[in-house]
Structure 1
Amino acid sequence: MVGEIANFAAYAFAPALLVTPLGALSIIFSAVLAHFILKEKLHMFGVLGCALCVVGSTTIVLHAPHERNIHSVKEVWELATEPGFIVYFCAVVILVSLLIFRYAPRYGQSHMIVYIGICSLMGSLTVMSVKAVGIALKLTFEGMNQFIYFQTWIFTTIVITCCLLQINYLNKALDIFNTAVISPVYYVAFTSFTIFASIIMFKDWDTQTPTQIASELCGFVTILSGTFLLHKTKDMGNKPAEPTVHPIPQHPPNKGTDDTLDI
Structure 2
Amino acid sequence: MYSTNLIGFILAVVSSAFIGSSFIIKKKGLQRASLNGSRASGGGYGYLLQPLWWLGMVTMIVGEIANFVAYVYAPAVLVTPLGALSIIVSAVLAHFMLNEKLQKMGMLGCLLCIVGSTVIVLHAPQEKPLSSVEEIWQLALQPAFLLYTASTIAVAFFLILYCAPRFGQTNILVYIGICSIIGSLTVMSIKAIGIAIRLTIEGADQFVQFQTWIFTMVAISCIITQLNYLNMVCITLNFYVSIMFCI
Which category describes the TM-score, using the shorter chain as reference length? Answer: 0.5 to 0.7
Instruction: Determine the structure 1 residue equivalent to 2:231.
Output: 171
Instruction: Determine the structure 2 residue equivalent to 1:11.
Output: 71
Instruction: Determine the structure 2 residue equivalent to 1:125.
Output: 185
- Aligned amino acid, residue 232 of structure 2: K
Change (3 A) 1:8 1:24: same
RMSD: 2.9
* Structure 2: 5+ residue stretches without partners: 1-60
- Aligned amino acid, residue 189 of structure 2: S
CA distance in 2, matches of 1:143, 1:10: 20
- Aligned amino acid, residue 130 of structure 2: I
- Aligned amino acid, residue 231 of structure 2: N
- Aligned amino acid, residue 68 of structure 2: F
TM-score calculated relative to the size of structure 1: 0.63
Instruction: Determine the structure 1 residue equivalent to 2:204.
Output: 144
- Aligned amino acid, residue 97 of structure 1: F
Change (3 A) 1:41 1:171: closer
CA distance in 2, matches of 1:31, 1:175: 15
Work out the number of aligned pairs and report it. 187
CA distance in 1, matches of 2:163, 2:95: 40
- Aligned amino acid, residue 158 of structure 2: L
- Aligned amino acid, residue 86 of structure 1: L
Higher relative contact order (CA 8 A, sep 6+): 1
The alignment status of 1:72 with 2:132, answered yes or no, reads: yes
Q: Encode CA deviations 1:157-209: one digit per residue, 9 max, x unaligned.
A: 0011111111111112223333233122323xxxxxxxxxxxxxxxxxxxxxx
The alignment status of 1:91 with 2:91, answered yes or no, reads: no
CA distance in 1, matches of 2:65, 2:226: 17
Change (3 A) 1:185 1:41: closer
**For 1:197-216, what aligned pairs fall within 5 Å after superposition?**
none
Using the TM superposition, give the Cα deviation of residue 46 of structure 1 relative to its aligned residue in structure 2, in angstroms: 7.9
Are the counterparts in 2 of residues 118 and 166 from structure 1 also a CA contact under 8 Å?
Answer: yes
CA distance in 2, matches of 1:120, 1:101: 16
Using the TM superposition, give the Cα deviation of residue 51 of structure 1 relative to its aligned residue in structure 2, in angstroms: 5.1
1:176 is paired with a residue whose SS is coil
**For 1:99-110, what aligned pairs fall within 5 Å after superposition?**
99-110=159-170
- Aligned amino acid, residue 226 of structure 2: Q
The alignment status of 1:184 with 2:211, answered yes or no, reads: no
2:176 is paired with a residue whose SS is helix
Structure 1 vs Structure 2: percent identity of aligned residues? 58
Of structures 1 and 2, the larger Rg is shown by 1
- Aligned amino acid, residue 173 of structure 2: I
Bigger drift between 146-155 and 26-35 goes to: 26-35
Using the TM superposition, give the Cα deviation of residue 3 of structure 1 relative to its aligned residue in structure 2, in angstroms: 2.3
CA distance in 1, matches of 2:159, 2:137: 28
Instruction: Determine the structure 1 residue equivalent to 2:118.
Output: 58
Are the counterparts in 2 of residues 13 and 67 from structure 1 also a CA contact under 8 Å?
Answer: no
TM-score calculated relative to the size of structure 2: 0.66
The alignment status of 1:158 with 2:218, answered yes or no, reads: yes
CA distance in 2, matches of 1:145, 1:53: 38
Using the TM superposition, give the Cα deviation of residue 15 of structure 1 relative to its aligned residue in structure 2, in angstroms: 2.3
Pick the aligned partner of 1:114 from 166, 174, 193: 174
Change (3 A) 1:100 1:80: same
Q: Encode CA deviations 1:126-147: one digit per residue, 9 max, x unaligned.
A: 1100000000001111111000
Change (3 A) 1:53 1:101: closer
CA distance in 1, matches of 2:181, 2:157: 11
CA distance in 2, matches of 1:77, 1:186: 27
Instruction: Determine the structure 1 residue equivalent to 2:85.
Output: 25
* Structure 1: 5+ residue stretches without partners: 188-263
Instruction: Determine the structure 2 residue equivalent to 1:231.
Output: none
Instruction: Determine the structure 2 residue equivalent to 1:249.
Output: none
CA distance in 2, matches of 1:185, 1:153: 29
Change (3 A) 1:123 1:36: closer
